[in-house]
Amino acid sequence: MSLIKNLNWRYATKKMNGAVVPQEKLDYILDAAHLAPSSSGLQPYKIFVISDREVLAKIRAIAFDQSQITDCSHLLVFAAWDKYTYDRMGEVFKRTVQERGLPDDAMNAYLDRVWSTYEPLGQEWHAAHAAKQSYIALGLAIAAAAEQKVDATPMEGFLHEQLDEILGLAGQGLKSVTLLPLGYRDEANDWLVNLKKVRTPVEEFITEVK
Ligand SMILES: Cc1cc2nc3c(=O)[nH]c(=O)nc-3n(C[C@H](O)[C@H](O)[C@H](O)COP(=O)(O)O)c2cc1C
């Protein structure tokens, strides 16, 4: 039950107090994101861990002035592949077979099959599909942060193209998807801290088909 207890403890913190998250807690949160499952195991996203205060100030300016971005300890930026390519996917499968000690061509037929499905879907679909994968890692990072009693605020409220420019993401074949400031709540100044957590009633949310 401790996961549920921790998920009840967490909330989308609106005001952080600037305290630093210890490295081992940060590593734990990043490990959880790293272990996220993804379609075909491609992990078509990366995480940038930003603590440079100047870069954070630039990001806040293109994120509707959300204070968590400069009051956090570290800002995670989830950035997903801007497209799939045969070679990009092939590189991931190559590492998989090598690490598993399988023959070099063990995943070739699978690669051909996946690529024949993905290629006609076009780059916009690729980018959206890759971004969806990154949300699973985001969710696990949020849960891991709660376990570590580290506050975290998932964010989509920023100008994506401008963040891509700040971090030079296009040159790396990436597009920003979400932000996750990590830090500690400023209890005295956060309007949300004591408000009830509200969710769709369970009976509406869950449909049992028996
Ligand atoms: C994908 C995503 C994007 C969000 N974007 C923002 C954001 O830009 N700024 C913010 O303060 N909260 C943001 N939130 C937080 C949600 O508003 C919040 O999670 C939701 O209201 C549920 O409340 P809780 O997280 O406190 O339980 C976002 C949440 C998610 C999952």
What's the total number of domains in the chain? 1
Task: Please give the number of the atom of ligand 1 that sits closest to the Cα of 197.
Answer: 27
Per-residue confidence (pLDDT) for residue 45, from 0 to 100: 98
Atom 7 of ligand 1, nearest CA residue? 155
Residue range(s) defining the domain that contains residue 164: 2-205
CA of 99 to the centre of ligand 1 (A): 38
Q: How much is the average pLDDT of 167-195?
A: 98
Is pLDDT above 90 for 100? yes
Whole-model pTM: value is 0.98
CA of 12 to the centre of ligand 1 (A): 6
- Convert the pLDDT of each residue in 9-32 to its tens digit: 999 999 999 999 999 999 999 999
Domain presence at residue 47: yes
Domain presence at residue 210: no
Query: Residue 117 CA to chain centroid, in angstroms?
Result: 25
Domain presence at residue 173: yes
- Convert the pLDDT of each residue in 42-97 to its tens digit: 999 999 999 999 999 999 999 999 999 999 999 999 999 999 999 999 999 999 99
CATH of the domain at 154: 3.40.109.10
Domain presence at residue 132: yes
Is pLDDT above 90 for 1? no
- Convert the pLDDT of each residue in 124-166 to its tens digit: 999 999 999 999 999 999 999 999 999 999 999 999 999 999 9
Residues with CB under 6 A from ligand 1: 11-12, 14, 66, 153-157, 178, 197
Domain presence at residue 167: yes
- In this structure, are residues 57 and 85 in contact, taking their beta carbons and an 8 Å threshold? no
CA of 29 to the centre of ligand 1 (A): 18
Task: Please give the number of the atom of ligand 1 that sits closest to the Cα of 158.
Answer: 8
